[in-house]
Amino acid sequence: MVERICRQINIKPILPLWGDKLKEILRDLIRKGFEAVVVSGKDKIPGKEWLGRKINKEFIEKLYYLNYLKDKFGLHPCGENGEYHTFVVDGPIFKDAIDILNTDKELQQGQWFLKISRYRMRKKK
């Protein structure tokens, strides 16, 4: 779809991660010190229970287990089809980190959302 839209407006897309190994992209995010949590997900897969989960080794393994079901559910490991969305709360380029303190989970039109009602900015050393 990206390529088609770019052709229509006569620009060349630059897609540096396109075609890379998906599992390695997620592992690299963790290795580089970024912390992200799932803040949105499709109703059935991955589902409500994924909201608030940190992207970590366990997350990746569970995601790849679910990926075996992709023929049935259309799951993309990096969420490229809107299966899930994340919020980065910390990383090596951030001056402060975000601690999520209170949340609610809400279903809207087949999509779960993590509503963050309270958070704290934390100074990093």
CATH number of the domain encompassing residue 70: 3.90.1490.10
Indicate the number of domains in the chain: 1
Structure tokens at 15: 């897609």
38, part of any domain: yes
Instruction: Please tell me the predicted confidence (pLDDT) of residue 112.
Output: 92
Confirm whether 31 is domain-assigned.
yes
pLDDT in the model for residue 71: 57
* Main-chain dihedrals φ then ψ at residue 62, nearest 5 degrees: -65, -40
Domain that holds residue 100: 22-123
Residue 45 to residue 87: CA distance in whole angstroms: 18
Query: Is residue 11 situated within a structural domain?
Result: no
Is 55 a member of any domain? yes
Q: pLDDT tens digits for the chain (125 residues)? A: 678 888 999 998 887 666 657 778 888 999 999 999 999 988 877 678 889 999 998 888 887 666 655 555 566 667 766 778 899 999 999 999 999 999 999 999 988 999 999 999 999 87
**H-helix or E-strand containing 23?**
helix 22-31
Q: Give the model's pLDDT for residue 106.
A: 95
DSSP state of 56: S
pLDDT the model gives residue 20: 57
Would you call the peptide bond into 46 cis, given omega within 30 degrees of 0 as the criterion?
Answer: yes
Q: Is residue 33 part of a domain?
A: yes
> What are the residues facing 118 on neighbouring strands?
102
The pLDDT assigned to 60 comes to 81
SS3 77: coil
